[in-house]
Amino acid sequence: MSYMIKIFRIGIFAVSCASFAFGQARRSNEDESRVGQYTLPEVLKCLDGSPVTTAEDWTGKRRAEVLRLYEEHVYGKTPTTPKLDAQVLSERADALGGIATRRIVRLRMKDKPAWEGVDVMIYIPNEAKRPVPAFVGLSFGGNHAVSPDIDVSISDRWMRPSQDDTVRNNRATVRSRGKEANRWPLEMILKRGYAVVTAYYGDIEPDHTQGWKDGVRGALAEKGADTVWQSGEWGAIGAWAWGLSRMLDYVETVDALDAKHCAVIGHSRLGKTSLWAGAQDERFAMVISNDSGEGGAAIMRRNFGETTKIITTSFPHWFTPKYASYSDNAADCPVDQHMLISLMAPRPVCIGSAEDDLWADPKGEFLSGLNAQPVYDLFGLQGVSVKHHPAVNTPVGDVVRYHMRSGKHDVTDFDWQRYLDAADAHFKK
């Protein structure tokens, strides 16, 4: 198959998925009175029926059980890999008008040269005391879309189609420069004393059904072109989460960064990714989910907004195949997303929602945080601190924090102010 035909078919599939999702969105439930009754799985009951009554019971037994259930039924199991080799591509001490040092480093596997690696961009505030804590997260558009610095190279990797000419023929155009700067307010973050560590998620694996062939999943598995991924094997969310952990590996080698105080952050599908990364990798000291919805922070058993059926039809490559089997019978799934939030305990978690983002089910996102409280209770820690979904623009919580801001599906300065406040509270005691 020629390269252009391959790209054409991938583009047609992406358009078909978008059309399906749009059609399903018009039929999805956005009426709270139609959600119906459901029962959440018991997070404090082991598979053998024994109760979890202490923090030791959780850390010594039940946590591992819950993690394995997520591997088997939702995201798939991440393989063990060695740390990646790092090559510094550039470094600039006067970035962003002199307030930061910027380094771009390529992480690769020597024995897997077919995978091109991931280009990680790091901004470190020049005036902050060293070492500094950091926010670690992936972007949708590449480093050049995050940074306003015009000397950051435009990514040449595969990208999802866009409607605004920022992506043409699945490649970024010059119009994409700075496109995500509003979602990554670098100056605000740096002036609060935090570093930013980010990379393009498509460097790890391109976001389409056949993306694994050019991504890390294909490189590690060495599967053939006609491979069918089996239940229990990792999907793209697992691959992207793996990439976040490899970025943290590198942070641990940088003297100017405080690797013990890093928050993993993500928005939308990358919010699902940050949750799964935080669940697997307890080195992340705080976990942030912004508008992550179905497959992220939202309760899957709620018939509201995007559903398991919709997401596994539109984006089957994100999850292990087993997850799709719960499309019409969510009650049979042995986990729900309050259990995912529970896997972060006793670490702090921030869950952000948007009032107009009904597709992501803001109330369902809140309920996951609320129903993780029994695990935080084991550690004597206070979670969201309220029983009912709070009013818009009214942040709540302590170790588990939640807010629903006004507006649409996005990451705003209001969101970042909440996450920075949480980092201050837990990292700067």
The predicted-structure confidence for 248-289, as pLDDT tens digits, reads as follows 999 999 999 999 999 999 999 999 999 999 999 999 999 999
How many domains in the chain? 1
**9 is a domain residue:** yes
CATH number, domain with residue 237? 3.40.50.1820
* Active site (annotated) includes residue 268: yes
Q: What is the pLDDT of residue 13?
A: 44
* Active site (annotated) includes residue 90: no
**242 is a domain residue:** yes
**166 is a domain residue:** no
Q: What is the pLDDT of residue 2?
A: 45
**pLDDT tens track for 286-333:** 999 999 999 999 999 999 999 999 999 999 999 999 999 999 999 999
**404 is a domain residue:** yes
**153 is a domain residue:** no
The phi and psi torsions of 241 (rounded to 5 degrees) equal -65, -40
Q: What is the pLDDT of residue 221?
A: 85
Q: What is the pLDDT of residue 228?
A: 83
**189 is a domain residue:** no
- Give every residue of the chain whose pLDDT is below 70, as ranges: 1-26, 223-226
Q: What is the pLDDT of residue 161?
A: 94
Q: What is the pLDDT of residue 415?
A: 98
Which of 268, 274, 314, 353 is an active site residue? 268
**261 is a domain residue:** yes
**194 is a domain residue:** no
Q: Which residues span the domain enclosing 253?
A: 3-85+213-427
Which of 231, 327, 385, 409 is an active site residue? 409
